[in-house]
Structure 1
Amino acid sequence: MLFSTEDCCIQQENEILALEAIYPQDFTYTENDENPSRYEGSLTIQISIPHEIMIYFTGGNNLISDLPLKVRHLPPVKLIFSMPSNYPTEECLQFELECCWMQRDWIRRLEKRLLKIWEEERDVILFRFAEFLQNNTLDYLQVSYPLRIYDDNVGQTTLKALLRTYDQQAKNQDFVNGHFTCGICLEEKHGDKCYRLNSCQHVFCQICLREYFMMLIREGFVIQVKCPDPSCKSQNKLAKEEITEIVGHEMSQRYTELLEKQKLETDPLVTYCPRKICQAPVRKDSAIEKLCVCTKCTFAFCWFCQRTWHGVGVPCAINNIKKVVQEYMVADEATKSMLELRYGTKNMEKLVRDTLEEMESDKWIKSNAQKCPQCETAIEKSMGCNHMLCTRCKTHFCYLCGSWIDPEEPYRHFNVPNSSCNQRLFDGVNVDEFVADDFIFI
């Protein structure tokens, strides 16, 4: 059957219209009636990869020890064509293939295979070419995995970098086009409204994740700024760039400042300048145990007592001796060494001896004396009745209960019914030795 040039032209127009509809983003062409080839253009074809593949690179600047690249997408094949006037009935498309990662012999084999497809069908063929390249390229070339690619590019941008960038862009586009359930509000959202964390790949809607992180930063819980999924096992911290992308520059700056502050507060070698106008963090001098010098205001002070530097051999002033001694008496060896360094070894030994003696004295006084209710002078009674008179302030009081007694009627206190001191004026007294109004005062 013979076809006229006009019939071929109609078939070409129909093929162009069909490809425009099927590949709106990947098909381009130009039309010129004066050229032997009325239509010229190109079609970009994405090659289907069944799974994530590993790629090894050889040649150029690549080394055997270089890490391989794992990708889910490969750059497309570009089919550049022109349509002769008697295409598709008498003559095939004039075409060639371009692909940045394919070996030259792979491209030649594919071009021969496409030409054979036209010879078998002798019809409009661009869609069949695209279908074959998309679904059968890797099988036809008998590509084995891991894929090994020769890269002789010695310029600034290597093939490895190009493939990595393309794969990431393609994954991002897949994400934008997808649908995901937010792990916070549990609603399904379109990909362009979601955010995927780099550390663990968990997905949350942008609004929920931003509000959650901003709340933590405002409240100062910066350690908890991590994946909100309770089942997430990732131990990686979010990068500063990622935090900024989620919450903005201002909140990201606050996050960094609070994180640094908490880090300093947990560092055992860092304190803060005691000057109220400074308060800058200061690291302890490693050469001199007690010395700290503020790098901001140059103030030299003692690490322990936070006062102006008093020299290595001068012990720190003690504000609460009793508390320090109690801490020393129950401390382990490391803490004792620290306290001895701070206050002096001999000084601590003397303070402990004095405190123990004072404690024994207080214990004896508590067991053998009664304090005056007015001036709190400790008074011991060696003999006589329980009506006492303080020699310091002349206050009358009861030795049994320590309460004040009316000097006009001192013995009425011991005759009050239901009182704990009723009829106990001579409690603890040997009556044979008692002499009326005989008092012992201390």
Structure 2
Amino acid sequence: MWTREGVLYAWVAFLSGDEFLDSLSLSSKSHITIVNHSPSTLLPLLESYDAHTQNAAFAETSYPCAICLSPYKGRHCVRLACAHVFCRSCLTDFWGSCIMEGDIGRVGCPDPGCVKAGHEAGEEDVIRVVGEEEVRRWKWLRTKRALERDPGMVHCPVAFCQTPVPSPEVDDDDSGWARLRTCPTCEYAFCAFCRRTWHGPISACPLRVTESFVEEYLGLPEGDARRAQIERRWGRGNVKRLVAKYEEERMNREWMDNCTMGCPGCGVHVEKSVGCNHMTCAKCKQHFCYLCGEKLPPSEPYKHFNTPGKKCFSKLFEEDLFDWVV
């Protein structure tokens, strides 16, 4: 930090005399030097003194403002966290205009390098530059932007609240805890899917997506007012997740109906790979016909296929009943 010989010599002389200890209030009134201070005590005092000295030097140095191209003393300028310096008047007007227009993405260093990198100003810099009202609006706009970028954001279902509630930080999105939301305003804990009081991560959500709802939602184009209303009410991420889950379950049902046969005893669906159509359920041990689903007597299971007039007569090895999906 202190590289030049003159500055270094001045610091050595300053630290070795009583003037240094007097400035840090570390000497007694009798001018007896106190030397029993640990480095942990002296370090913050030295850092504070160094910062004060740098600020004093900054205030008396002239800097060209990159916005208005005029030179100003440091006392009339702001040095941002990125070390770029601008006159306070220009920066206050620029940031204030951006905050008023809602374009908080431009509230940052106007230097072309920082603009290209997309660096935004931190809270400390914003507080130093603009007024309290602009700071409150800036914080509100940042919160609003973060919520709008959150696909799992939902509004509190309490009628008098309606506060936006962000997604929880859950590693496993498939876990039941991913549905839990707690309103930061009224502290109402609810399920993000059904908007009812939180029913736990294990209990099935009572919300059910119907075929008509899915058809209506998928039939609406992006940007449609009705589609936006649905997403705003239930949460865009939740709606897309529920619709995708419904479509998956629908395709599973179609496959089960077309490619399997349910056991007449317990309802477990069975898919035959090879062999005859006499099936024995692995769960309940019920004998049944794979073609028609009729129960078969365990003592004479093949009589069903050998009785003339029966629908499955001579079809013990028939395999073209279902429309197999390739």
TM-score by length of 1: 0.39
- The CA deviation string for residues 320-375 of structure 1, in whole angstroms up to 9 with x for no partner, is 54354569xxxxxx999934565474446679xxxxxxxxxxxxxxxxxxxxxxxx
Q: Which residue identity lines up with residue 83 of structure 2 in the other structure?
A: Q
Equivalent position SS for 2:110: coil
**TM superposition shift of 1:184:** 0.8
Give the alignment partner of residue 4 of structure 2, picking from 18, 43, 50. Answer: 50
1:214 counterpart = 2:107: no
> What pairs with 1:125-140 in structure 2 (closer than 5 Å)?
none
Larger fraction in helix: 2
Alignment correspondent of 2:138: 255
* CA RMSD of superposed structures (Å): 4.6
Q: Which residue identity lines up with residue 179 of structure 1 in the other structure?
A: S
Q: Percent identity?
A: 31
**Structure 1's 51 and 326: CA in aligned 2 closer, same or farther, altered over 3 A?**
farther
**TM superposition shift of 1:280:** 1.3
Alignment correspondent of 1:226: 108
Equivalent position SS for 1:204: strand
Alignment correspondent of 1:316: 209
Give the alignment partner of residue 77 of structure 2, picking from 194, 215, 237. Answer: 194
**TM superposition shift of 1:242:** 2.5
Aligned length: 214
Instruction: Report the structure number with the largest CA radius of gyration.
Output: 1
Equivalent position SS for 1:161: helix
**TM superposition shift of 1:205:** 0.7
User: Residues of 1 paired with 2:167 and 2:136: CA distance?
Assistant: 27
**Structure 1's 186 and 295: CA in aligned 2 closer, same or farther, altered over 3 A?**
closer
Q: Is the 8 A contact 1:75 1:99 kept in 2?
A: no
**Structure 1's 231 and 171: CA in aligned 2 closer, same or farther, altered over 3 A?**
same
Alignment correspondent of 1:63: none
- The CA deviation string for residues 273-320 of structure 1, in whole angstroms up to 9 with x for no partner, is 245532213245752555545454466765357688895265224665
**TM superposition shift of 1:173:** 1.6
Equivalent position SS for 2:57: helix
Give the alignment partner of residue 182 of structure 1, picking from 53, 65, 68. Answer: 65
Equivalent position SS for 1:180: strand
Equivalent position SS for 1:157: helix
Equivalent position SS for 1:171: helix
Where do 5+ consecutive residues of structure 2 fail to align?
Answer: 22-34, 169-174, 221-236, 255-326
TM-score by length of 2: 0.50
Q: Is the 8 A contact 1:226 1:238 kept in 2?
A: yes
Alignment correspondent of 1:417: none
Alignment correspondent of 2:192: 303
- The CA deviation string for residues 195-244 of structure 1, in whole angstroms up to 9 with x for no partner, is 111x2111111100011111111122223211111123777654423311
Q: Is the 8 A contact 1:293 1:300 kept in 2?
A: yes
Alignment correspondent of 1:122: none
**Structure 1's 239 and 153: CA in aligned 2 closer, same or farther, altered over 3 A?**
farther
Q: Which residue identity lines up with residue 172 of structure 1 in the other structure?
A: N
User: Residues of 2 paired with 1:212 and 1:223: CA distance?
Assistant: 12
Alignment correspondent of 2:164: 281
Where do 5+ consecutive residues of structure 1 fail to align?
Answer: 1-47, 54-71, 80-95, 102-150, 328-333, 352-442
Larger fraction in strand: 1
> What pairs with 1:46-195 in structure 2 (closer than 5 Å)?
50=4, 75=11, 77=13, 97-98=17-18, 100=20, 153-154=37-38, 157-158=41-42, 160-195=43-78
Q: Is the 8 A contact 2:78 2:85 kept in 1?
A: yes
